[in-house]
């Protein structure tokens, strides 16, 4: 109860400052629209369906790209953690490509795939995979070796050891890898949508970009708010259950 | 501790094993040096015997235990368990580690079940029955649904003991399992281990640096010296059981073992290659 109150107070004050700043008249409303204008835009876009449609298109791309990235990245990460050879090769490649901002994939994607959904997915997957590989690899390397030793003395080797010990033991790291991947997928998709204009779907990034082209700052800020809110909700829905599960089993976490 | 009525089938089926360690030597090689960890270890352990290896840290006692377990291979010599050469770890020689090494993703019951799932020819119900029996044996039948992090250090080692005993190994190898516990918990576990050993006859090798623990629990105590690790003295203990770790008889033997330990330490350690 008290915490909810603090949250409301904090954001209330933030919006209040914003409102006050616009009322001073020092900044043109074209550059800094009042909060109410943003709310008005969001309400309008919600009612004429553009916002929902754009959100739907974006989420669809995001989820497909994200799960492809996870499906490739998690096994690769576990693989690089198990041998020095794969670490020196795939691991080094992942490290190199992870430093590459995902927007740098856009020119390549456009030339290879043209202005298509595939180009969009390619950028998201490339932006996601490498960070997932690195997070999973780092995690799986920190599994206490005593688990594997204990399992071996109980007669658990090979496939049985992998499925019953290594995989569950790496679960906390897999989840952090997935979380990392989510953040990177979201960023990559927004970069792709802002830079790649395609006819098959009109996403949130496009909405943002058109807001800029029309100098509709209320639209720009409104879409940014939507992007932040979606990120927060996804975090709650996708990862909180896992984190609660880990917390209950491993006894980790600060609370 | 109270025990359940005998179960419908034979829980303690495997007889304890005889162990033979023959001329085992082990080196640890780093890029810069080669350190001999064990030098020509010979050891015979009878079926159902309780053996202690004591020595200062670095004397190779844990390495020897690993070799007997099959987790590490000796550079020279071999280990025979019931006349079979030990070529790798196996469920007939289970290890209890200092850190309980329980799996946090499983409940207490799940941990005890882990090794049982590798035992062939058991039905699901038999496995559950055996796991329940062993949780009762260590007095934790009410904690089957708990997770590892919810248990105290002493309870964790009890679960680890139940987990090691449940698959019915023929040898139990204990690597300082009680070293991290407080004195009171440890003394309780001395009694529990003696009680359990009396019921479930196993060949046990316990590694420790605690001479009282060794005197309290074992039939024979071997004193090791470091650099390279060697077996130096053997003490045979004929005290009646169960033994109280605080009894004068145990204390007298413990002081003799301690004197032997100190005797080896005062000798200048041989040069390491």
Kindly give, in sequence order, each residue whose CB lies less than 8 Å from that of residue B215, ignoring residues fewer than 6 positions away.
B221, B235, B237, B243, B250, B251, B253, B254, B257
Residue B1 has pLDDT above 80, yes or no: no
A169–B103 C-beta distance less than 8 A? yes
List pLDDT tens digits, range B31-45: 888 888 899 999 999
Q: Is A147 on the interface with B (CB under 8 A)?
A: yes
Q: Note whether B89 contacts A147, CB cutoff 8 Å.
A: no
| C-beta of residue B45 within 8 angstroms of C-beta of residue B51 | yes
Closest Cβ–Cβ partner in B97, B104, B105 for A150: B97
- Integer-rounded Cα radius of gyration of chain B: 19
From the list B88, B89, B149, the residue facing A251 with the nearest CB is: B149
Task: Report yes or no: B23 and B34 within 8 Å, Cβ to Cβ.
Answer: no
Instruction: Note whether A168 contacts B103, CB cutoff 8 Å.
Output: yes
3-state SS, one letter per residue, for B195-249: HHHHHCCCEEEEEECCHHHHHHHCCEEEEEECCCEEEEEEEECCCCCCCCCCCHH
Total structural domains within chain A: 1
Residue A179 sits in which domain range? 34-250
Residue A160 falls inside a structural domain: yes
- Do A223 and A213 contact (CB within 8 A), yes or no? no
A-chain residues near B89 (CB < 8 A): 152-153, 155
Q: Do A155 and B105 touch (CB under 8 A)?
A: no
Provide the pLDDT confidence category of residue A122 given band limits of 50, 70 and 90. Answer: very high
Q: How confident is the model at residue A254 (pLDDT cuts 50, 70, 90)?
A: very low
Sequence-distant (6+) residues with CB within 8 A of B188 are: B154
B53 SS3 class: strand
Which tens digits make up the pLDDT trace of A200-233?
A: 788 888 888 888 888 888 999 999 999 999 888 8
Residue A128 belongs to some domain of the structure: yes
Kindly list the residues from chain A whose CB atom is less than 8 angstroms away from the CB atom of residue B147.
248-249, 251
Q: What angle do CA A95, A98, A101 make, to 5 degrees?
A: 150
Q: Do B114 and A249 touch (CB under 8 A)?
A: no
Task: Decide: pTM greater than 0.90.
Answer: no
Over residues B196-246, the pLDDT tens digits come to: 888 888 899 999 989 999 999 999 999 998 888 889 999 999 888 889 999
Cis peptide before B228, with omega less than 30 degrees from 0?
Answer: yes
CATH number at residue A135: 1.10.3720.10
Nearest to B65 by CA among B47, B38, B46, B40: B38
DSSP B147: B
Residue B128 burial (C-beta neighbours within 10 Å; 0-12, 13-18, 19+)? middle
Residue B105: pLDDT above 50? yes
Q: Could you give the CA distance from residue B174 to residue B191 in angstroms, rounded to a whole number?
A: 16
Confidence at residue B11, expressed as pLDDT on a 0 to 100 scale = 59
pLDDT of residue A28: 83
Residue A6 maps to a domain:
no
Looking at the complex, report in whole angstroms how far the Cα of residue B227 sits from the nearest Cα belonging to chain A. Answer: 25
Q: Over the stretch A82-117, which tens digit does the pLDDT of each residue have?
A: 888 888 898 899 999 988 888 899 899 989 998 888
Question: Which of A153, A158, A251 has the highest number of chain B CBs within 10 A, making it the mutation to test binding with B?
Answer: A153
For chain A, say whether B89 makes contact (Cβ under 8 Å): yes
Q: Which residue of A has its CA nearest to B168?
A: A154
Ordered by where they begin, the domains of chain B are: 19-103+171-266 (3.40.50.300)
A5 within some domain: no
């Amino acid at each position: 109860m008290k915490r909810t109150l603090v949250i409301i107070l904090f954001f209330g004050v933030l919006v209040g400052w914003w409102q006050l700043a616009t009322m001073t008249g020092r900044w043109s409303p074209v550059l800094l629209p009042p909060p109410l204008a943003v709310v008005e835009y969001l309400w309008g876009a919600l009612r004429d369906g553009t916002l929902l449609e754009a959100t739907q298109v974006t989420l669809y791309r995001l989820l497909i790209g994200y799960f492809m990235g996870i499906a490739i990245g998690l096994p690769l990460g576990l693989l690089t953690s198990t041998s020095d050879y794969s670490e020196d090769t795939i691991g080094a490649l992942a490290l190199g490509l992870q430093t590459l901002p995902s927007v740098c994939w856009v020119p390549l994607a456009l030339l290879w795939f043209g202005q298509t959904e595939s180009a969009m997915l390619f950028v998201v997957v490339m932006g996601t995979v490498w960070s997932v590989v690195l997070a999973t690899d780092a995690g799986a390397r920190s599994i206490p070796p005593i688990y594997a030793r204990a399992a071996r003395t109980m007669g658990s080797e090979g496939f049985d050891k992998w499925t019953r010990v290594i995989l569950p033991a790496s679960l906390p790291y897999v989840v952090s890898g997935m979380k990392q991947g989510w953040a990177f997928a979201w960023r990559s998709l927004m970069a792709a949508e802002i830079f790649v204009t395609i006819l098959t779907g009109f996403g949130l990034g496009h909405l943002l970009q058109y807001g800029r082209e029309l100098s509709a700052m209320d639209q720009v800020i409104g879409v940014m708010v939507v992007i932040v809110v979606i990120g927060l909700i996804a975090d709650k829905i996708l990862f909180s259950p896992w984190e609660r599960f880990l917390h209950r089993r491993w006894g980790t976490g600060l609370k | 501790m109270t025990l359940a009525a005998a179960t419908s089938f034979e829980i303690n089926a495997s007889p304890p094993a005889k162990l033979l360690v023959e001329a085992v030597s082990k080196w640890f090689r780093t890029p810069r040096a080669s350190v001999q960890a064990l030098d020509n270890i010979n050891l015979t352990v009878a079926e159902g015997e309780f053996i202690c290896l004591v020595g200062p840290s670095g004397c190779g006692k844990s390495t020897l235990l690993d070799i007997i377990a099959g987790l590490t291979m000796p550079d020279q010599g071999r280990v025979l368990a019931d006349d079979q050469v030990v070529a790798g770890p196996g469920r007939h020689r289970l290890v209890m580690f200092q850190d309980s090494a329980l799996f946090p993703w499983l409940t207490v019951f799940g941990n005890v079940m882990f090794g049982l799932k590798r035992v062939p020819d058991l039905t699901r119900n038999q496995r559950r029955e055996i796991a329940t029996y062993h949780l009762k044996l260590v007095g934790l039948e009410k904690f089957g649904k708990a997770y590892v992090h919810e248990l105290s250090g002493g309870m964790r080692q009890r679960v680890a003991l139940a987990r090691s005993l449940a698959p019915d190994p023929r040898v139990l190898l204990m690597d300082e399992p009680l070293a991290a516990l407080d004195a009171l918990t440890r003394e309780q576990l001395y009694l529990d281990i003696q009680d359990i050993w009396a019921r479930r006859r196993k060949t046990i090798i316990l590694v420790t640096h605690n001479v009282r623990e060794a005197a309290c629990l074992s039939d024979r105590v071997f004193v090791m010296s470091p650099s390279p690790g060697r077996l130096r003295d053997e003490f045979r203990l004929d005290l009646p059981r169960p033994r109280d770790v605080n009894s004068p008889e145990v204390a007298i033997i413990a002081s003799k073992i301690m004197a032997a330990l100190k005797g080896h330490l005062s000798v200048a350690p041989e040069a390491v290659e």
